[in-house]
Amino acid sequence: MKKKLVNNKQSKLIIGLTGGIGSGKTAASDLFAKQGVNVVDTDILARQALQLGSPLLTQVFNYFGEQLKLEDGSLDRAALRALVFNNSTAKTWLEELVHPWVKKETLKALAEATSPYILLSSPLLIESGQVSLTDRLVVVDLPESIQIQRTTQRDNNDPSLVKKIIQQQISRQDRLAQADDLIDNSGDLTSLQKQVDSLHNHYLKLALTKANQE
Ligand code: ATP
């Protein structure tokens, strides 16, 4: 198992879960959650960072202007994405605002979790270095053609856009090289469920071993 960060006071087993866009991270983590596992999802936290009422959202409006405000006062996320897509200064500013908040909330959620082990799900687990918070990494993997097909279908967008996003992410090979465990999500949802069930049993045993070592 990987050595933990010294500042991570969490003594529970933390399983990191990652995968490329549309690989099935949410589908897989939902199945772990159904087994009673506490899931900390950095994608959800990143969305919460800029939800209505958040002090960070006020800073976004101050920086980018009120044109990003929808009628109900919430953020026009599509407009923000478009604004930062080709503007590296704005992108960096936004990341420096959101990332520390997500990190703080991630550590808080990990500390508050009560299940025998915790799943930390993040599309950028490896790239962000958050993998060092985990004891073990499970990668959701599938061939690029299925990944593109499912993502395009889900988001109703162009395959070329999905391909571009895949190219910006860590390569499949580099991601797999870091994996301790693998979920092959090229099959149907029953196959995914079977793999999650089997890993869940494995992680429960590892959690017990770790708890006995403390
Ligand atoms: P993102 O990185 O964009 O957040 P994700 O990794 O969380 O995506 P999901 O949203 O879980 O991916 O899955 C992508 C799409 O593929 C969804 O529409 C989901 O319902 C579907 N899907 C996931 N796994 C399977 C499967 N085994 N069989 C069929 N469809 C699947």
How many CB atoms are closer than 10 A to CB 195? Answer: 20
9 pLDDT band, cuts 50/70/90, is very low
> pLDDT above 70 covers what percent of the chain?
95
Residues flanking ligand 1, CB < 6 Å:
19, 21-27, 43, 123, 150, 154, 185, 187-189, 192
Location of structure tokens 């029953």: 190
8 pLDDT band, cuts 50/70/90, is very low
pLDDT digits (tens, 9 = 90+) for 128-154: 899 999 999 999 999 999 999 999 999
> CA 170, CA 209: separation in Å to the nearest integer?
32
| Domain-wise residue ranges, the chain | 12-37+119-202, 50-114
Using CA positions, which residue lies closest to atom 20 of ligand 1? 27
How close is the Cα of 25 to the center of ligand 1, in Å? 7
Ligand 1 atom at minimum distance from 186 CA: 27
Higher pLDDT, 7 or 89: 89
As assigned by CATH, the class of the 12-37+119-202 domain is: alpha beta
Structure tokens at 122: 């993040």
C-alpha separations of 53 from 49, 50, 61, 96, 143 in Å = 10, 8, 12, 19, 40
- pLDDT at residue number 161: 87
Ligand 1 atom at minimum distance from 123 CA: 2
Highest mean pLDDT among 78-82, 132-136, 154-158: 132-136
> CA 205, CA 202: separation in Å to the nearest integer?
5
pLDDT digits (tens, 9 = 90+) for 11-48: 899 999 999 999 999 999 999 999 999 999 999 999 99
- pLDDT at residue number 171: 96
Ligand 1 atom at minimum distance from 153 CA: 18
- pLDDT at residue number 86: 79
